């Protein structure tokens, strides 16, 4: 049976200050969501010997104050946490660790649903950032600019 192929694109982003702020907020909110629900799972297991599921976490996620950033990125961090828990209990992998602000890899992942992410030639449009990024350096941006990475699945 033939599996579907995944297509990957690698872009060098040259965000504006506003976009850089929103990217930083998204990375921070994804880290917060991951750490918050990891802590909730640990405390719930210690007190009641129960655990949250991905669905239960998503239901609580809607009540949080995280409206400004991409919701798919937040849900992806919950999926990552759920996957880490499953790997821990099924394959004897290490227990999930809290995400750190000081870790050198600051990234987030989001899903391509419908037209949320569009790739046209040398340009990409990401959700909530509102503007297209180019593979080529934009005018006024030096080539050694700080880059932020995000994965799109």
Average pLDDT over residues 78-85: 88
Spacing of C-alpha 87 from chain mean position: 19
Q: Is residue 2 part of a domain?
A: no
pTM: 0.76
- CA distances (Å), origin 61, targets 11, 30, 58, 93, 133: 30, 11, 5, 26, 29
Sequence-separated (6 or more) residues with CB below 8 Å from residue 49: none
Q: Rounded CA gap, 78 and 109, in Å? A: 11
What pLDDT shows up at residue 130? 65
Domains held by the chain: number: 1
- In the block, tokens 């599996």 appear at 3
Burial classification of residue 3, based on how many CB atoms lie within 10 Å of its CB (0-12 exposed, 13-18 middle, 19 or more buried)? exposed
* Residue 153: pLDDT over 50: no
Least confident of 15-24, 58-67, 119-128, 141-150: 141-150
What pLDDT shows up at residue 122? 66
* Residue 39: pLDDT over 60: yes
Supply the range of the domain harboring residue 45.
Answer: 17-152
Q: Is residue 93 part of a domain?
A: yes
Q: Rounded CA gap, 142 and 63, in Å? A: 41
Phi-psi region of 105 (alpha: psi -120 to 50; beta: other; left: phi over 0): beta
Least confident of 5-19, 46-60, 72-86, 129-143: 129-143
Average pLDDT over residues 101-107: 81
């Amino acid at each position: 049976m033939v599996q579907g192929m995944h297509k990957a694109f690698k872009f060098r982003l040259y965000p504006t200050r506003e976009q850089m702020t929103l990217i930083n907020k998204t990375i921070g909110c994804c880290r917060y969501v991951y750490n918050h629900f990891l802590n909730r799972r640990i405390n719930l297991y210690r007190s009641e010997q129960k655990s949250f599921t991905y669905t239960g976490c998503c239901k609580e996620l809607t009540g949080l104050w995280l409206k400004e950033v991409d919701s798919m990125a937040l849900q992806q961090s919950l999926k990552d946490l759920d996957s880490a828990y499953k790997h821990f209990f099924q394959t004897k992998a290490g227990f999930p660790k809290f995400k750190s602000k000081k870790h050198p890899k600051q990234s987030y992942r989001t899903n391509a649903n419908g037209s949320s992410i569009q790739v046209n030639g040398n340009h990409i449009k990401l959700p909530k950032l509102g503007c297209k990024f180019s593979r080529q350096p934009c005018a006024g941006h030096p080539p050694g600019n700080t880059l932020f990475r995000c994965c799109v699945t």
